């Protein structure tokens, strides 16, 4: 069986881990085993953080839309329901942007939602 020397592959792999760990505290940036554990832990947090970011932004958009709807004497749930019934297919990200930057445009959307709900109420 041939003898295996892992010099370049092994050092490249270790160098990659230690490069990722640069800036970590004490041995976590200098010793391979500690650095490997710290990097794996950091990558795990980064993965979950990417998922949480989506949730946090959605909740931020909902808060902004709800605040703007309250200014127009309307609740968030009524607004979303009315917009769906009116056939307005704007997502929460766009609605929140309109709520923050274009109050008059948002008021028109609220009026559309109110009209759609009124039409449905008369039909029922």
CA distance 33 to 101: 51
Q: Between 1.10.10.60, 1.20.120.420, 1.10.1900.20, 3.40.50.300, what CATH number should domain 9-123 receive? A: 1.10.1900.20
| pLDDT at site 83 | 97
Q: Return d(Cα 43, Cα 36) in angstroms, integer.
A: 11
Q: pTM of the predicted model, to two decimals?
A: 0.82
pLDDT per residue as tens, the chain (124 positions): 888 887 899 899 999 999 999 999 999 999 999 999 999 999 999 999 999 999 999 999 999 999 999 999 999 999 999 999 999 999 999 999 999 999 999 999 999 999 999 998 888 7
For residue 58, what pLDDT is reported?
98
Domain boundaries, the chain: 9-123
Report the C-alpha gap between 15 and 8 in whole angstroms. Answer: 10
| pLDDT (0 to 100) of residue 79 | 97
All residues at 6 or more sequence positions from 112 whose CB lies less than 8 Å from its CB, including other chains:
82, 83, 86, 88
What's the pLDDT at 61? 98
Q: At what angle do helices 76-86 and 32-71 cross, to 10 degrees?
A: 80
């Amino acid at each position: 069986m041939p003898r295996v020397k892992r010099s370049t592959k092994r050092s490249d792999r270790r160098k990659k881990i230690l490069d990722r760990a640069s800036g970590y505290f004490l041995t976590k940036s200098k010793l391979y085993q500690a650095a490997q554990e710290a990097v794996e832990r950091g990558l795990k947090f980064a993965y979950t953080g990417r998922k949480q970011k989506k949730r946090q932004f959605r909740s931020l958009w909902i808060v902004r839309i709800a605040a703007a709807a309250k200014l127009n004497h309307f609740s968030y749930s009524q607004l979303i329901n009315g917009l769906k019934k009116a056939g307005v297919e704007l997502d929460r990200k766009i609605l929140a942007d309109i709520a923050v930057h274009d109050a008059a445009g948002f008021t028109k959307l609220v009026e559309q939602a109110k009209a759609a709900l009124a039409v449905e109420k008369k039909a029922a």
